[in-house]
Amino acid sequence: MESQAGFDVLWLNGAFGVGKSTVAELLRRRLRDAIVVDPESIGHYLRLTVPPDAQTQDFQDMPPWRTITRVVIESIATTYGRPVIVPMTLVAPVYFDEIIGRLRTGGVDVRHVTLRAPRETILERLAGRADTTDWSFHQVDRCIEGLDDERFAPWIDTGGRSPRDVDDVVLRSHARN
């Protein structure tokens, strides 16, 4: 099932505003057959579908989001045999195990990396984005602290680095040479 990139799935984790989507797009361009799967789309779909009384503040807390995310990623990786890049913040260890752990035990080669930056850098990046919500700002400290857990290693510092430099580090450390 492994793609020419040397992995089935590359999960880019990190706080909101750290650069996951930017790096994912650069990787997609460099790995021409790569597919970017953004599980936030699944969350937005569930917001439209799940009854209001079953909604949670964070769609990751809805069990269907975790199940659908895992199934979609696995299906795309196994159906198309192309590298799948997932730019998604995942801080709860139990959700990490439920999604990434189950993908791995199911035979999907998932490479995981956490992008990090100083808090001030993340806040500046969020302030510069047109689509940033107050909710994103309120998650920064929770994400920075939660992603220090060894489960979320390895870490790549994005502070003071260009997106292209981060993209290079990710490829060197996770793609087939």
What pLDDT digit, counting tens, does each position of 50-99 carry?
Answer: 999 999 989 999 999 999 999 999 999 999 999 999 999 999 999 999 99
pTM score, two decimals? Answer: 0.91
Output 162-168 pairs: Cβ under 8 A, ≥24 positions apart.
163/19, 163/22, 163/23, 163/26, 164/26, 166/19, 166/23, 166/115, 167/23, 167/26, 167/27, 167/30
Q: Which of 94, 74, 98 is nearest to 84 (CA)?
A: 74
Percentage with pLDDT > 90 across the chain: 75
CB 38 within 8 A of CB 87: yes
pLDDT over threshold 70, residue 43: yes
Q: What is the topology classification, in CATH, of domain 9-163?
A: Rossmann fold (3.40.50)
Whether residue 154 is preceded by a cis peptide bond, meaning omega within 30 degrees of 0, is yes
pLDDT band at 4 (very low <50, low <70, confident <90, very high): low
pLDDT of residue 177: 34
| DSSP β-ladder status, 35-36 and 84-87 | parallel
pLDDT band at 135 (very low <50, low <70, confident <90, very high): confident
| Rounded-to-integer distance, Cα 175 and Cα 19, Å | 19
Which one is predicted more confidently, 18 or 136?
18
| Domains in the chain: boundaries | 9-163
pLDDT band at 48 (very low <50, low <70, confident <90, very high): very high
